[in-house]
């Protein structure tokens, strides 16, 4: 391997489990001195309710704690480490100032039940963010409550169910395309719906005929992701909406891929009734190694009564939390949402403005198409048309050398890149789903393309090298079969 | 455009490579009729300096940046967070990573989750714990759904002394699934009425949900509740909103609990106006395959070295789709990391000492406030308790607020029969002077003064 690749080896430090560190009597804490009489639990509780000790808890000094977690962090790869083209996840840069404003003392210390009169700033921020998201999506009302995309889906589907129930029949089925994220069918099932899969056509999108065939008066909704997980715009969206609406159903849009559309088109203008946003994708809030995210939901006016409580409403000059909404689906979580995540998204929108958001989407499209063009001679491209924010290849050309998408993904790590999403969407066998986002410079994309081309070459000439990859990481491929057959999910004292 | 590296020169070269002329032309992949003709109606962009100032003003609006002395708890607890927690959270390798789908370059997150799972097990006395849920409320709802999957029964009983928002969320989650939720009242002592529980528990009940300490801060007799539930072959779900209590209380798992869920915010996560917080979810090993959410397991790499991966994921939505045990995907990983760093720092001794400080301060506050108001309940408590305040409660709370004091949560919003009651929480962050001040100001407003207040 040449030396200019991002991937190089450095000193990797070993680190045991935290339970294997420290020693009896060590302390990492300091507590304020007690300024009232000490009350032992024995004095006020029945003795048999009292625990003897915290068996298995660490005993460490502060420096040991810091070293432990610093070492752990060094085994991780994040957006700040390098290129992270994980398809469908929109791993864009997480601006640093957003981390600062989310930690402003006035926000951090705000108790959710404190009086509304001293929470006007926080409520105002939320109310403005609702308005921004409504404007960006072309929908009428927004709730910020859902904690993540999947909870947004649940919220949206519950609203659809309540709306239809009010009109006499909640119906029993939901149409979900074969390109959908797994959360779509799972959220529908959680609402008691039977999931009916709709096949996408040879162009990778839903055809009006396919939806028409499955659409009847028992179908509550069509759940569609637009652009879809192949990175293609559902070009028949308006017709699909019409077909569903004609039979009295509603259309739900999964907004996971909204980064393709900012300032370019509005989901609401396509006739969609409900949309969820992933603030941790489109609006730059960090993923945190799996969360927290935020999954606000936007709806058209006819669904506004069903939004979760509390709603933020304006009474003259004052904002307040309104719980008295008889048609509401209720609450999907405690309090009002992942507020500190909302602050970051709000800061992002204010930093970019209308022009910046549109630029972000256009450059995301540019970067994805640049990669598509750069790799299409070396990797199989099942849908050879200009894409939106991501492009999906497959491992078909490498299969004949015994190299799979998994192998390619692992080999990319040696070159210093995070792999793309693999084996998804399910409609593409051996899929490699690449989403570069707008955050990458041209030379990074060039380097990535070159690495992918080189791996394609290696697959032909040295397939073993690819199949055995990664070679430079702290651990090599891990035995997942063992982890599932003999689950060891915790350390034991 | 400081977050977008590619500038005009870059575009031009790239556009040529893909056969487009202008950046704007890329929008032509969208049907003409759907393309926006005018810019989004959003505020003009702010510079970093303007943004910080704007948000600082918002954050201080209403308080003028002045710290209020607040005795609010009720599911969100104001504990001191050691500096080390945020320093670890700010490691970009942690906070800018995605879900650890590629284990070879995600060992940091994976080992941390494994350690988190372990500490939740140790704390609750359970055998397995997952990588986190959204919050305490949705964790309770998911536990109720899991119990129904295990038992195949449609009815679930929840104590009315479970956090009202946890009950509301459970109701939202179970509503479309044709499940029946019934509530068990509480006694004059402030704990779940076990006589009623015995009467209404039947063969159709999948689970009983109880909170420990309960919403009123009172301690339930978990052993007895468990005995009653198990006698009817129902599962017992224990919800914990203030997990610091577990440093002193017998772990629910040792008392027979089947599922222990709760809110981990108390451990290293700030109040943040209600989120993000972090739900935890623990159960028995034999229920493992019915559990919602991610699990991290230990395994070995090709050279036999220890490593960690996402495990038992055939329960999850990305594989099982509509047959998954839950729809959860993104969870609260970074908040779970905060819990882990916090618990590691406090350690075996520190957490117990901290819990004793909370208990002691709370007992002191109870004593002081009992001199001027009435304690509503008699059951033992941890760091919260309910007082009954005579007079115009809203007016009194407003007057206190003008003195910079938030006395606690007026319970009338959740319990119509408790219009005079206030839930008061005291943690290590409250000094004796602050408690005295609350007692004195409240005493003055109510026209009564405690003995100590008079003595001064």
Of A59, A189, A359, the CB nearest to B348: A59
Number of other residues whose CB lies within 10 A of the CB of residue B306: 15
Q: Domain spans of chain A? A: 1-75, 99-350, 356-480
Tokens encoding A39:
């009350």
**Which of the listed residues B292, B320, B341 is the one where a domain comes to its end?**
B341
- Same domain as B303, residue B255: yes
Residues B199 and B295 placed together within one structural domain of the fold: yes
> Domain end: B341, B363, B386, which one?
B341
Does residue B43 lie in a domain region?
Answer: no
- Nearest 5°: the CA angle B99, B101, B104 is 115
CA–CA distance, A175 with A193 (Å, rounded to integer)? 10
Q: Please say if the pLDDT value at position A451 is more than 60.
A: yes
**Which position has the token pair 């032909």?**
A460
Q: Within this chain, do residues B281 and B371 fall inside the same structural domain, yes or no?
A: no
Q: Are residue B149 and residue B131 in the same domain, yes or no?
A: yes
pLDDT at A2 over 80: no
Q: B-chain residues within 8 Å CB-CB of A474?
A: 104, 107
Shortest CA gap B302–chain A (Å): 6
Q: For residue A52, count other CB atoms closer than 10 A to its CB.
A: 6
* Residue B109 domain flag: yes
CB distance B291 to B146 below 8 Å: yes
- A44-83 pLDDT per residue, tens: 999 999 999 999 999 999 999 999 999 999 999 999 999 9
DSSP A9: -
Q: Residue A107 corresponds to which tokens in the numbers above?
A: 């926000």
Task: Report chain A's C-alpha Rg in angstroms.
Answer: 25
Residues B198 and B227 in one domain: yes
Instruction: Please check whether residues B329 and B244 belong to one and the same domain.
Output: yes
Cβ contacts below 8 Å, chain A against chain B, sum to 672
Identical fold, A99-350 and A356-480: no
Does residue B90 form part of some domain? yes
- Cβ partners under 8 Å of residue A350, min gap 6: B43, B45, B46, B51, B54
Q: CB distance B341–A65 less than 8 Å?
A: yes
Q: Is A94 in Cβ contact with B333 (below 8 Å)? A: no
From residue A21, alpha-carbon distances to A69, A211, B336 in Å are 12, 58, 20
Q: For A226-236, how does the pLDDT look when each residue is reduced to its tens digit (9 = 90+)?
A: 999 999 999 99
Question: Does the beta-carbon distance from B97 to A79 stay under 8 Å?
Answer: yes
For residues A353 and B313, which has the higher predicted lDDT (pLDDT)?
A353
- How does the average pLDDT of chain A come out, rounded? 97
Burial class (CB in 10 A: 0-12, 13-18, 19+), B290: middle
B303 with B355, same domain: the answer is no
Looking at the structure, do residues B202 and B325 belong to the same domain, yes or no? yes
Q: In degrees, to the nearest 5, what angle opens at C-alpha A133 toward C-alphas A127 and A136? A: 145
DSSP string, A124-143: HHHHHHHHHHHHHHT-SEEE
CB-based contact B4 A363, cutoff 8 Å: yes
- Angle between helices A442-461 and A405-415 in degrees, nearest 10: 120
**Does the residue B200 lie in any domain?**
yes
Residues of A in contact with B432 (CB under 8 A): 35-36
The reply to whether B335 and B376 lie within a common domain is: no
**Residue written as tokens 């002193």?**
B248
CATH class of A99-350: alpha beta
Of A41, A439, A475, the CB nearest to B104: A475
User: The CATH number of the domain where B415 resides is what?
Assistant: 3.90.1150.10
Q: Is B114 domain-assigned?
A: yes
Count of beta carbons in the 10 Å neighbourhood of residue A376: 13
Domain range enclosing B285: 83-341
How remote is the C-alpha of B449 from its chain's centroid?
37
**Bridge-based pairing state of the strands B259-263 and B235-240:** parallel
- Give the Cα separation of B42 and B38 in Å (integer): 12
Cα separations in angstroms, A347 against A101, A125, A386, A483 = 8, 10, 32, 41
Cα distance between residue A255 and residue A234, in whole Å? 13
- Which phi and psi angles does A36 have, rounded to 5°? -130, 175
Nearest to A31 among B54, B70, B350 (CB): B350
Q: Cβ–Cβ of B95/A78 closer than 8 Å? A: yes
Pick among B50, B105, B396 to test the A interface (most A CBs inside 10 A): B105
Burial pattern B6-39, b for ≥16 Cβ within 10 A else e, equals beeebbeebbeebebeebeebbebbeeebebeee
**Partner-chain contact A112 B76, CB within 8 Å:** yes
B30 is a domain residue: no
CA distance A414 to A1: 9
Q: What residues in B contact A38, CB-CB < 8 Å? A: 356, 360
Is the residue at B7 inside a domain?
no
Distance from CA of B72 to the nearest CA of A (A): 7
Average pLDDT over residues A189-207: 96
Q: Does B269 touch chain A (CB under 8 A)?
A: no
B439 shares a domain with B292: no
In a domain? residue B333:
yes
Domain containing B266 — which CATH number?
A: 3.40.640.10
Q: How far is CA A470 from CA A424, B105, B180, in A?
A: 21, 10, 52
Mean pLDDT of all residues in A437-453: 98
d(CA B224, CA B187): 15
Q: Which class for B83: exposed (0-12), middle (13-18), buried (19 or more C-beta within 10 A)? A: exposed
Count of structural domains, chain B: 2
Helices (H), A227-386: 237-246, 339-375
Domain boundary among B341, B373, B389: B341
- Segment A402-421, tens digit of pLDDT: 999 999 999 999 999 999 99
In order along its 456 residues, chain B shows pLDDT tens digits of 799 999 999 999 999 999 999 999 999 999 999 999 999 999 999 999 999 999 999 999 988 777 889 999 999 999 999 999 999 999 999 999 999 999 999 999 999 999 999 999 999 999 999 999 999 999 999 999 999 999 999 999 999 999 999 999 999 999 999 899 999 999 999 999 999 999 999 999 999 999 999 999 999 999 999 999 999 999 999 999 999 999 999 999 999 999 999 999 999 999 999 999 999 999 999 999 999 999 999 999 999 999 999 999 988 888 888 888 999 999 999 999 999 999 999 999 999 999 999 999 999 999 999 999 999 999 999 999 999 999 999 999 999 999 999 999 999 999 999 999 999 999 999 999 999 999 999 999 988 654 444 433
pLDDT at residue A3 in the model: 62
- Are the C-beta atoms of residues B137 and B169 closer than 8 Å to each other? yes
Check if the interface score ipTM surpasses 0.95: yes
Mean pLDDT of the region A324-347:
98
Average of per-residue pLDDT across A292-305 = 98
Token pair 């072959």 is at which residue? Answer: B233
| CATH topology (fold) of A356-480 | 3.90.1150
CA distances from B310 to A71, B261, B278, B338 (A): 20, 21, 19, 20
Q: How far is B82 from chain A (nearest CA, A)?
A: 8
> Closest residue of A to B355, CA-based?
A41
Q: What share of chain A is helix, strand, coil (3-state, %, to 5)?
A: 40, 10, 50
Q: Which residues contact A9 (CB under 8 A, 6 or more apart)?
A: A472
Pick among A74, A85, A111, A124 to test the B interface (most B CBs inside 10 A)? A111
Separation of alpha carbons B314 and B386, rounded Å: 45
Across the interface, do B274 and A335 touch by the CB < 8 Å criterion? yes
Residues of B in contact with A77 (CB under 8 A): 93, 97, 102, 105-106
First to last CA, chain B: 62
Specify whether B232 is located in the same domain as B151: yes
**Which of B434, B454, B435 has the alpha carbon at shortest distance from B444?**
B454
Smallest CA–CA distance, residue B71 to chain A, in Å, is 10
């Amino acid at each position: 391997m040449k030396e200019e690749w991002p991937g190089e080896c450095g000193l990797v430090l070993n680190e045991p489990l935290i339970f294997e560190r420290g020693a009896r009597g060590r302390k990492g804490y300091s507590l304020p001195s007690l300024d009232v009489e000490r009350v032992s639990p024995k004095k006020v509780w029945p003795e048999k309710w009292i625990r003897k000790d915290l068996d298995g808890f660490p005993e460490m000094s502060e420096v040991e704690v810091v070293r432990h977690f610093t070492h752990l962090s060094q085994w991780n790869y994040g957006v700040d480490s390098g290129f992270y083209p994980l398809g469908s996840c929109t791993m864009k840069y997480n601006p640093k100032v957003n981390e600062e404003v989310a930690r402003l003392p006035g926000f951090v210390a705000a108790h959710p039940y404190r009086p509304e009169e001293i929470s006007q700033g926080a409520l105002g921020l939320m109310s403005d963010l609702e308005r921004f998201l409504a404007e960006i999506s072309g929908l009428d009302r927004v709730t910020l409550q859902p904690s993540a995309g999947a909870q947004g889906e649940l919220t949206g589907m519950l609203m659809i169910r309540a709306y239809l129930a009010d009109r006499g029949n909640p119906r029993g089925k939901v149409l979900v395309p074969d390109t959908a994220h797994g959360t779509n069918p799972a959220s529908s099932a959680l609402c008691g719906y039977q999931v009916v899969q709709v096949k996408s056509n040879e162009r990778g999108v839903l055809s009006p005929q396919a939806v028409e065939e499955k659409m009847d008066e028992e179908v509550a909704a069509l759940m569609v992701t637009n652009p879809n997980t192949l990175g293609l715009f559902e070009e028949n969206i308006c017709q699909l909406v019409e077909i569903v609406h004609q039979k009295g159903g509603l259309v739900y849009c999964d907004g996971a891929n909204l980064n393709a559309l900012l300032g370019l088109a509005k989901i609401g203008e396509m006739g969609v009734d409900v949309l969820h946003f992933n603030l941790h994708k489109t609006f730059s809030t960090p993923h945190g190694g799996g969360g927290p995210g935020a999954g606000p939901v936007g709806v058209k006016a006819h669904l506004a009564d069903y939004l979760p409580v509390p709603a933020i409403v304006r009474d003259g000059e004052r904002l307040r939390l309104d719980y008295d909404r008889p048609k509401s689906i209720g609450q999907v979580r405690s309090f009002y949402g992942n507020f500190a995540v909302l602050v970051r998204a709000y800061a992002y929108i204010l930093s970019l403005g209308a022009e910046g958001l549109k630029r972000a989407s256009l450059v995301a499209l540019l970067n994805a198409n640049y990669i598509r063009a750069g790799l299409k001679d070396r990797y199989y491209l099942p849908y050879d048309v200009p894409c939106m924010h991501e492009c999906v290849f497959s491992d078909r050309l490498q299969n004949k050398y015994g190299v799979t998408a998994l192998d390619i993904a692992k080999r990319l790590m040696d070159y210093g890149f995070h792999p793309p999403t693999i084996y998804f969407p399910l409609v593409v066998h051996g899929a490699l789903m690449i989403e570069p986002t707008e955050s990458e410079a041209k030379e990074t994309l060039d380097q990535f393309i070159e690495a992918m081309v080189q791996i394609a070459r290696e697959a032909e000439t040295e397939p073993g090298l690819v199949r055995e990859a990664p070679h430079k990481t702290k651990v090599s491929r891990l035995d997942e079969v063992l982890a599932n057959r003999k689950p060891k999910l915790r350390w034991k004292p | 455009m400081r977050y977008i590296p590619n500038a005009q020169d870059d575009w031009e070269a790239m556009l040529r490579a893909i056969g487009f002329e202008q950046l704007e032309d890329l929008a032509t992949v969208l049907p003409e009729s759907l393309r926006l003709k005018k810019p989004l109606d959003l505020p003009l962009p702010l510079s970093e300096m303007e943004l910080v100032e704007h948000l600082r003003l918002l954050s201080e609006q209403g308080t003028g940046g002045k710290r209020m002395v607040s005795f609010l708890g009720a599911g969100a607890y104001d504990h001191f967070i050691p500096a080390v927690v945020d320093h670890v959270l700010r490691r970009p390798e942690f906070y800018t990573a995605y879900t650890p789908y590629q284990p070879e370059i995600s060992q940091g997150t994976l080992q941390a989750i494994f350690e988190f799972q372990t500490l939740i097990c140790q704390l609750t006395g359970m055998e397995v714990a997952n990588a986190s849920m959204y919050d305490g409320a949705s964790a309770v709802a998911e536990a109720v759904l899991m119990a129904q999957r295990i038992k195949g029964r449609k009815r679930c009983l929840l104590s009315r002394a479970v956090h009202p928002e946890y009950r509301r969320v459970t109701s939202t989650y179970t509503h479309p699934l044709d499940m029946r939720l019934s509530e068990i009242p509480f006694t004059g002592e402030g704990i779940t009425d076990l006589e009623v529980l015995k009467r209404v528990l039947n063969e159709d009940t999948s689970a009983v949900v109880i909170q420990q300490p309960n919403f009123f801060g009172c301690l339930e007799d978990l052993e007895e509740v468990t005995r009653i539930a198990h006698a009817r072959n129902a599962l017992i779900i224990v919800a914990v909103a203030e997990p610091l209590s577990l440093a002193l209380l017998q772990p629910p798992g040792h008392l027979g609990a089947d599922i222990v869920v709760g809110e981990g915010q108390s451990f290293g996560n700030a109040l943040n106006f209600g989120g993000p917080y972090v739900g935890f979810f623990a159960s028995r090993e034999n229920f493992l395959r019915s559990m919602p959410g991610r699990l991290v397991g230990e395994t070995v790499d090709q050279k036999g070295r220890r490593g960690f991966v996402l495990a038992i994921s055939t329960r999850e939505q990305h594989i099982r789709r509509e047959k998954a045990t839950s729809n959860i995907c993104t969870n609260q990983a970074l908040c779970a990391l905060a819990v882990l760093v916090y618990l590691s720092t406090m350690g075996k001794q520190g957490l117990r000492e901290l819990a004793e400080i909370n208990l002691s301060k709370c007992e002191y506050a109870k004593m002081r406030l009992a001199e001027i108001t009435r304690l509503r309940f008699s059951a033992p408590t941890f760091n919260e308790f309910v007082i009954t305040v005579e007079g115009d409660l809203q007016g009194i709370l407003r007057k206190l607020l003008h003195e910079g004091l938030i006395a606690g949560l007026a319970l009338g919003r959740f319990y119509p029969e408790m219009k005079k009651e206030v839930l008061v929480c005291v943690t290590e962050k409250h000094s004796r002077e602050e408690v005295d001040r609350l007692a004195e100001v409240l005493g003055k407003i109510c026209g009564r003064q405690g003995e100590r207040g008079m003595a001064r």
